[in-house]
Amino acid sequence: MSPTLMKSLVVAALLLAGTGCTNMTMLRTEELRAVQHHVDSLRTEMVTLQQKMYEEQKNLAEIIRLIRADQQMKFGDIDRKVSQISSNLNENQSRLSKIGEQTSEFQKQIAAKLASDSAANNAQSAEAEKLFQIAMSDFNAGRYDISANGFKDVAAQFPELPLAAESEYWAAECHYAKRNYGDAEKAYITYVKQYPEGPRLCVALYKLGLTYDKQNKAKSKKMVWKKALEQCPDSPEIQVIKAQMK
């Protein structure tokens, strides 16, 4: 091989080698640029994400601050309300205590008044019983005028006592015993009207019928005895009335 050809081959080989290296360098440069671009994109995305995270952290911190402030306000309101309720409870307890003291005092006064009234009632009952027994003694002795006045006094002085009704009845009996049938009629009618459920109602109706009989008031007698039959069907006087009506 000639020197010239050899030289040409060497130059050609060098040229080929240079061309390959250049191509390899260009490829690597492009790859590095692509990688660098990707890295830059990632950095930009990371910075964006960091900014978003920072903003979200700020927002979250603000929300937490607002929640805490709201809770503090609510807790403050709750504390004030609890304090007010406690104050009201104490005030109500004080009022209840005063009411209890007043109630206790009222109860003492009522008990004292009841005791006083009971003593007064006992004294009244004793006085009424005494006057009634005196009037009854006069009746048994035939002193009918005095007895009638005594019974009327008892009824007038002690109208709230059971002896008042009993006295009205015996005042009528005094007039009947005297054969003063007109006054007896009025007295029996007074008893029936004032004491429609009195213990002497049945016998008063029976005796009222007798006063009508004594005065020849047959229609009135029949009417009042009919009333006795309706109101006192089981009384002893009814048997007498039935017998006399037959």
Cα 49 to Cα 118: distance, rounded to the nearest angstrom: 98
Q: What's the whole-number mean pLDDT along residues 91-103? A: 73
Closest by CA to 206, choosing from 179, 169, 178, 154, is 169
> Given this model, what pLDDT does residue 184 score?
97
Give the pLDDT band of residue 220 (cuts 50, 70, 90): very high
Cα 50 to Cα 142: distance, rounded to the nearest angstrom: 130
User: Which is more confident, 184 or 68?
Assistant: 184
Q: What's the whole-number mean pLDDT along residues 156-176? A: 95
Counting beta carbons within 10 angstroms of the beta carbon of residue 235, is it exposed (0 to 12), middle (13 to 18) or buried (19 or more)? middle
The structure tokens listed for 180 are 């003063």
User: Does residue 120 have a pLDDT over 70?
Assistant: no
> Given this model, what pLDDT does residue 127 score?
95
H or E element in which residue 112 lies: helix 3-140
> Given this model, what pLDDT does residue 221 score?
95
Q: Could you say which of 1.10.3720.10, 1.10.490.10, 1.25.40.10, 2.10.260.10 is the CATH number of the domain covering 180-246?
A: 1.25.40.10
Q: What's the whole-number mean pLDDT along residues 85-90? A: 76
Q: How many CA atoms lie within 13 A of 98 on its CB side?
A: 5
Read off the pLDDT of residues 183-219 as tens digits, 9 standing for 90 and up: 999 999 999 999 999 999 999 999 999 999 999 999 9
Give the pLDDT band of residue 40 (cuts 50, 70, 90): confident
> Given this model, what pLDDT does residue 98 score?
75
Give the pLDDT band of residue 99 (cuts 50, 70, 90): confident
User: Does residue 55 have a pLDDT over 90?
Assistant: no
pTM greater than 0.85 (yes/no): no
User: Which is more confident, 93 or 104?
Assistant: 93
Q: What's the whole-number mean pLDDT along residues 130-140? A: 97
How many residues in total does the chain contain? Answer: 246
Q: What's the whole-number mean pLDDT along residues 127-145? A: 96
> Given this model, what pLDDT does residue 5 score?
59
- Cα–Cα distances in angstroms (integers) from residue 77 to residues 50, 71, 151, in the given order: 40, 10, 79
> Given this model, what pLDDT does residue 215 score?
96
> Given this model, what pLDDT does residue 154 score?
96
User: Does residue 118 have a pLDDT over 60?
Assistant: no
Three-state DSSP at 111 gives: helix
Cα 10 to Cα 21: distance, rounded to the nearest angstrom: 17
Q: Is 216 left (phi over 0), alpha (psi -120 to 50) or beta?
A: left
- Cα–Cα distances in angstroms (integers) from residue 144 to residues 77, 139, 156, 166, 174, in the given order: 89, 5, 18, 16, 5
Closest by CA to 229, choosing from 218, 221, 238, 220, is 238
> Given this model, what pLDDT does residue 114 score?
45
User: Does residue 32 have a pLDDT over 70?
Assistant: yes
Cβ contact 176:207 at 8 Å: yes
